[in-house]
Each structure stands twice: as C-alpha cells, then as structure tokens.
C-alpha cells in the first residue's frame, strides 16, 4: 500500500499507511535521551547526562526528576541499591504498580529502545501515545533496524528524532553520550509508528515482547513502506 501524505510536523513529512492507522516518516535529526536510566543524573553532575539537561537546579527539573516526598524543594536521592546517591529520572511511560521513588517504575534508556514524542506532536490526534510500538531503521547500506516503544515526552516544539541510548546504539551509534551528542548514529532514519498498539497496562514489557509485536505489525502492513 502506498503511503499518503498526512501532515508536516516541524519540517518532517508524515505519511499514513492505508487504513491501518500506522504512519511513517524519515528524519536525519538525532538527539539522545538518557531519561529513565537509574544512573542518568547525580547531584554532583557525574551521571550519564548533564544536570542542565534535566533543568536542574533551575526551573523545569520537576518534569524530569522525581520529587523528594519529604522535601518538595529538591529531587529524591536513591537511598540504596546499585545506583545509590543518584537522582531518579522519569519517563512518560511508567509502571502504574510501582511507587514514584522506585527507579524500576520508568523505562530505562540504556536497556530499552524507545522514541520520544515532542509535546505538540503528541497532542495531534492519531499520532499515538506512551506504550505504542515502533519500528525504526537506518536507511542506506547498514540495514540496521530495531523495534522500539514510545516512552517519553519532549519539549513542545522539538523536532522528531529524539531516541533512547539503547535505540541509538541499535541504529549504529557507538557509546552514545547524551551530554554532548557524541557517538549518536548518523544518516537518515525511518520510523513506522503503530498507534493504539500499546498493551494494558502499557508497561512493564520485555524488549523481546516489544520486538515480536512490532515486527508482526510491520509484516501486516507489507513490510517497510517506501516514502
């Protein structure tokens, strides 16, 4: 089925794929998201990502870091475990059965391939939401591809192309560094998103489970659409 142009978002053309509800787009923009990783942010700024990228200590950090339930003026510091002393960074997709202060509640950017929806894109009816599955691939000779999940929300007017560290590595990145963007994959990437594909509850899921579902949905629409 030939994809039909749906709309253009921040310079990226979005194409509907038949009556499936799925859509696809291509972009060369890549930005790296470490959110959900238990070691993403540290009070001494020694985490995977820079505290400035979490909006800390200035305005905005409450949308990224878990608030200390005993002192709402500061982020919660993990009291134990392998990442003791680190803050907890949130993702929009989360396990409803775990408390806010449990790092396992969120989607770990180091171990789960995921994409980020900018706020304005998420607000468009039909684009899907947290927990929907995705297929992503690097166009060109590498043929690198991966299943993924929509797991986080980004700035309102950001371009498409923000991805987790795990997805960045799967698409050809090498030791991707969210602090400065080093190691991010380069080239043009195609994404196929399957709205209304999320499970109930939408999280927790294994990477294998996500891959099986996403590959099955891609097969249902006749493999990678050409745009």
Give the model confidence (pLDDT) of 74-91 as tens digits.
999 999 999 999 999 999
What is the Cα–Cα distance from 49 to 34, expressed in whole angstroms? Answer: 7
Q: What is the dihedral of CA 139, 25, 221, 116, to 10 degrees?
A: 100
pLDDT of residue 153: 96
Greatest CA separation for the chain: 55
What is the pTM assigned to this prediction? 0.96
pLDDT of residue 216: 98
pLDDT of residue 142: 81
pLDDT grade, residue 59 (50/70/90)?
confident
Query: Domains in the chain and their CATH numbers?
Result: 4-33+108-220 (2.40.40), 38-89 (no CATH)
| Over residues 181-203, mean pLDDT | 96
What percentage of the chain has pLDDT greater than the value 90?
A: 95
Distant-in-sequence, close-in-space partners of 80: CB < 8 Å, separation ≥ 6? none
The token pair that represents 151 in the structure block: 């797991």
pLDDT grade, residue 63 (50/70/90)?
very high
CB of 174 within 8 A of CB of 183? yes
pLDDT of residue 143: 83
Q: Is the pLDDT of residue 141 over 80?
A: no
pLDDT of residue 40: 98
Angstrom CA distances, 171 to 145, 161, 206, stand at 6, 12, 19
Q: Is the pLDDT of residue 207 over 80?
A: yes
């Amino acid at each position: 089925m030939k994809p039909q142009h749906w709309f253009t978002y921040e310079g990226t053309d979005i194409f509907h794929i038949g009556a499936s509800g799925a859509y696809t787009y291509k972009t060369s923009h890549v930005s790296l998201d470490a959110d959900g990783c238990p070691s993403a942010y540290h009070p001494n700024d020694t985490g995977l990502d820079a505290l400035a990228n979490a909006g800390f200590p200035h305005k905005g950090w409450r949308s990224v870091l878990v608030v200390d339930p005993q002192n709402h003026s500061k982020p919660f510091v993990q009291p134990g475990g392998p990442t003791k002393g680190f803050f907890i960074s949130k993702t929009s997709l989360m396990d409803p059965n775990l408390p806010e202060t449990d790092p396992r509640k969120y989607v770990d950017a180091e171990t789960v391939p995921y994409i980020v929806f900018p706020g304005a894109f998420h607000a468009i009816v039909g684009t899907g939401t947290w927990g929907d599955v995705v297929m992503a691939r690097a166009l060109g000779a590498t043929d690198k591809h991966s299943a993924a999940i929509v797991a986080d929300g980004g700035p309102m007017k950001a371009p498409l192309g923000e991805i987790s560290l795990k997805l960045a590595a799967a698409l050809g990145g090498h030791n991707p560094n969210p602090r400065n963007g080093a190691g991010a994959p380069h080239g043009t990437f195609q994404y196929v998103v399957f709205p209304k594909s999320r499970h109930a509850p939408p999280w927790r899921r294994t990477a294998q489970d996500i891959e099986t579902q996403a590959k099955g949905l891609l097969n249902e629409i006749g493999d990678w659409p050409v745009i």
